[in-house]
Amino acid sequence: MRVAFAADHGGAALKDELLVRLRAQAGPDELIDLGGDGSDPTDDYPDFAVRLGGAIQRNEADRGVLVCGSGVGASVAASKMTGIRAAVCHDTYSAHQGVEHDDLNVLCLGGRIVAIELALEIVRAYLGATFSNLPRHRRRVDKVRAIEAAERQR
C-alpha cells in the first residue's frame, strides 16, 4: 500500500517521528512524505490537506496520514475533498473500524494530543485494516458518496 504523510507545523514533529519509526520496521507499505518540515509556524493545515488529498485523488497514494495540532482542522479540511473520508482517531478501535466500516482513507492525528507510541499503534491499526465490503457498510459509504454528489449539484 502507498501511504502518504503530511503535516502542518502543529503536526510535523509527530509525522516525522512516525516515518522514522515505520521505515525502521521495513514493512510492506510504501511511505511517502509530502511535508511539511515544521519550519514555518504560520503554515496552514488546509494546504497540507489539499496536498495529501490530491495525492489520493490522483492515485499517487492509496491512503493518507494527516497530522495537525489536534487532528481536527486536518479532518475538517480533508473531508471536504471529493473521495476523501478523513477522521481524527486517537484510539486503535476507531482507527481500524473506521477503515472496516467507513472506508476511511485519511487518518488524522493531533501532534499535540498523542505521543509517538500510541500514535504508532493507531497508525498500525489503520494500515492493517481493510474495508469489510459487507452490503450494509457499502450501502452506508454509498450514502456518504451521495451526499458528496448532491453537494456538488447545489
Q: Quick one: residue 116, left, alpha or beta (phi over 0 = left, psi -120 to 50 = alpha)?
A: alpha
Closer by beta carbon to ligand RB5, 70 or else 94: 70
Q: Is 89 a catalytic residue?
A: no
Q: How far is the CB of 70 from ligand RB5 (least distance, A)?
A: 4
Closer by beta carbon to ligand RB5, 118 or else 129: 118
Q: How far is the CB of 52 from ligand RB5 (least distance, A)?
A: 14
Task: List Cα–Cα distances, 26 to 1, 23, 30, 31, 45, in angstroms.
Answer: 13, 5, 9, 10, 29
Name the strand (E) or helix (H) holding 51.
helix 45-57
Q: Is 90 a catalytic residue?
A: no
Cα distance between residue 85 and residue 54, in whole Å: 13
Task: Exactly one of 9, 96, 101, 108 is catalytic; name it.
Answer: 101
* Binding-site ranges for ligand RB5 (CB under 6 A): 8, 10, 45, 68-70, 72-73
